Amino acid sequence: MTIIQIDAGTLTASEENRTVTGLLVPYHEECASNLGKFTVAPGAFKVPADLAGMSLNVEHQRENVIGQPTQVRETEKGIVATFSVARTPEGDRALNDIKAGTRRSLSAEVADVIISAGRAVGGRLFAAALVERPAFPSATLLASAPNTFMGEEVANSTESDTFTDEDGQVWRRVESNTTDVVVEDDGTQITTTTTVVEETPSTEEDTNEEEAPVGTVPNTLTAAQADATPASLSKVVSIIDGVKKGTLEGDTLLAALTDIKISGSGALPAAGVLQPAWLGELWNGRQYQRRYMPLITNGTIRALDEKGFRLTAGTELVSSWAGNKAAITSPASPTTAVESSTLAKWAWAADIAREFFDLPGGEEVISAMLRAVTESYARVTDSWTLEQLVTAATANIVAPDTYPTDYPASLGQLIQGISAVEDAGDTPTFAIVNQAAWSEMLYTPRDQLPEFINFAVATNGEASADGRVRVVRGDIGIDDTPAVLVGARTAAHVNEQGGGAPIRLDALDIAKGGVDQAVVGYTQFMTDYPDALVLVGTADTP
């Protein structure tokens, strides 16, 4: 929308009735606006029939409304408006500014302006503002007192000529007549005419003004407005300050301003002139917290390999005895088997240029890289531990039972696995469920949970059963249907070198000006009691 701001005349205030009346837009008089100089033709600007949408603001700050028009009418000499100032602190300040003379001018806000031959012939009046300086020399806004009212104030430039003084300076003399009509309470009409003679230095623009082409004023004015007055440096600074403070609207028109852009055609800064704010290392995700290694016993590697034996009895070793010197029988004999651990080795290495360490700024990047390597070690070793648990539990895979139909099968599998570990003689402490089972558990309504089990599930990927079985989500080798791996903490253990952290190695590559950095780690896994690792589910169809 094309918007123009036309400054009008000075005003005085009445604090008694808070109503001011005056000539808002004079006809046939040259005005100064954000578009430059032109005159307004009678009937050019449409006056709204309903004034509810109009307002009176301060300095075109449309959020700073201090009143509204009560009457706007067209007269032979121009548009006359009556404003009611709001009984607010902002309205009081506006009246005080008018009284003190610090802000005594009026500016009309007009949209969709059309200018032809230096005259405005179209537009829509939609608001007005109190400003510091007028542009119509004779348009004055006077305050209404209880016993007077503003009639038609007429101001016309009646004579204009030029003369040259003894120093050769050309002057322009303008004689203006101002007529003010006031009607007293008793009906007496008082007419006052004031003649003002103004002499100003004459310039070429005073006698050789060019006519502007016909057309609708565009949102960005360039050479299309031939008689537009270029904005001064102070005006440009004021505009920029207004944009920063949010007091200047983006669609308000300003005359003959040069585009200064930050990029694209005609941009002021060359590539690299505008510098970004350096933030250093950006957040690249929450630091990985191991999920599966803490489920079983953790220890420290003490040798390249671990060995031990496991005693197995097919049946109960103890049976009843008759006593009274009767023979004691041995119905079954236990067996033993030697077990070994599984050792995994992990490493990363790089030959890094010395500049990263010798010059400022580079060491931050290397530190971030080494943190990423350490976090990668935590992830891969945790995933490897899960694979060992799944391998051990696969030997004890059991088919799901038939569960009640009023709660999900995944909960039934969890209960079945807990019971199986307890039947094996150990205490279940954890369960690992696949994505299919987790989705069922997460979206199970509370009224479909078994009443005799306290089951709590959270959106962070963990849950608990009866407050003693920790439930986590993970890949347990079955994807198509729900599956649950239940185990005891003592069923297996995992060891690391140095109690958890990988070993960091440094060396100098003097011949090539480098620094060798390496990270080495070891993990050692052993199944201590395979019967306490139970996988409940149905293997995927190949």
Instruction: Compute the CA torsion angle 219, 221, 222, 223 (nearest 10 deg).
Output: 120
Q: In the prediction, which pLDDT does 227 show? A: 41
Report the alpha-carbon angle 467-471-477, nearest 5: 160
Residue 148: the pLDDT is 33
Q: Quick check: 382 pLDDT over 80? A: yes
Please state, rounded to an integer, the average pLDDT across all residues of the chain. 77
Rounded to whole angstroms, the Cα distance separating 359 from 376 reads: 27
Distance CA 203, CA 210 (A): 14
- pLDDT band at residue 63 under the 50/70/90 scheme: confident
Specify the 3-state DSSP secondary structure of 414: helix
Strand partners, 485: 432, 535
Which has the higher per-residue pLDDT, 247 or 201? 201
Report, as an integer, the average pLDDT of 9-22.
67
For residue 229, pLDDT over 50 is answered with no
- Give the pLDDT score at 95: 85
Q: What is the mean pLDDT of residues 44-56?
A: 87
d(CA 532, CA 161) in angstroms, rounded, equals: 113
> Span 396-410, mean pLDDT?
87
pLDDT tens-digit profile of 93-138? 888 888 787 877 778 888 888 887 778 888 888 888 888 765 554 4
Query: Which residue type does 104 have?
Result: R
Computed on alpha carbons and rounded to an integer, the radius of gyration of the chain in Å comes to 45
Say which residue, 68 or 329, is predicted with more confidence. 68
- Cα–Cα distance measured from residue 442 to residue 458, given in angstroms and rounded to the nearest whole number: 7
Residue 305 has pLDDT above 60, yes or no: yes
- Average pLDDT rounded to a whole number, residues 89-93: 89
**251: confidence class by pLDDT, cuts 50, 70, 90:** very low
pLDDT for 153: 43
Reading the block at residue 484, the tokens are 């649950």
- Inter-residue contact 459 to 442 (CB < 8 Å): yes
Q: Is the pLDDT higher at 383 or at 408? A: 383
User: Can you give the pLDDT at residue 161?
Assistant: 65
Q: Supply the pLDDT for residue 107.
A: 80
> Which pTM was predicted?
0.52
Looking at the predicted structure, is the pLDDT value of residue 195 above 80? no
Q: What digits encode the pLDDT tens for the residues 208-218?
A: 444 444 444 44
- The conformational region for residue 246 under phi > 0 = left, psi -120 to 50 = alpha, else beta, is left
**Quick one: angle between helices 409-423 and 435-442, nearest 10?**
110
d(CA 257, CA 219): 11
Evaluate whether 226 touches 212 at the Cβ level (below 8 Å): yes
> What pLDDT is recorded for position 216?
40
Count, residues in the chain: 542
Q: What one-letter code names the amino acid at 363?
A: E
Q: How confident is the model at residue 165 (pLDDT cuts 50, 70, 90)?
A: low
Sketch the domain layout of the chain as residue ranges.
Answer: 3-150+211-245, 289-296+343-542
Q: What is the sign of the dihedral through the CA atoms of 233, 239, 244 and 245?
A: positive
Residue 420: predicted pLDDT: 95
- The neighbour count for residue 516, using CB atoms within 10 Å, is 14
> Comparing 59 with 204, which gets the higher pLDDT?
59
pLDDT at 215: 40
Q: Which residues pair with 503 in a beta bridge?
A: 520
Higher pLDDT, 134 or 367: 367
Higher model confidence: residue 401 or residue 194?
401
- How many helices (H) and strands (E) would you count in the chain? 7, 29
Q: For a pLDDT cut of 70, what percent of the chain falls above it?
A: 71
Task: Work out the average pLDDT over 297-313.
Answer: 88
| Average pLDDT of span 44-60 | 87
According to DSSP, the residues that pair with 79 across neighbouring strands are: 25, 74
For the chain, the farthest-separated pair of C-alpha atoms sits apart, in whole angstroms, at 156
Question: Using H for helix, E for strand and C for coil, what is the string for 495-519?
Answer: EEHHHHCCEEEEEEEHHHCEEEEEE
pLDDT at 106: 77
Question: Where does 165-306 show beta strands of DSSP type E?
Answer: 170-183, 189-201, 215-216, 297-300
Q: Which of 56, 54, 47 is nearest to 75 (CA)?
A: 47
| Of 222 and 243, more confident | 243
Name the band, by pLDDT with cuts 50, 70 and 90, for residue 14. low
DSSP labels, 48-91? PS-GGG--EEETTEEEEEEEEEEEEEE-SSEEEEEEEE-SSHHH
What pLDDT does 234 receive?
55
Element (H, E) at 115: strand 105-116
High-pLDDT (> 90) share of the chain, %? 23
What pLDDT is recorded for position 250? Answer: 41
Q: Which residue has the higher pLDDT, 114 or 181?
A: 114
* pLDDT value of residue 240: 62
Band of pLDDT at residue 390, cut at 50, 70 and 90: very high
> Mean pLDDT, to the nearest integer, of 154-182?
59
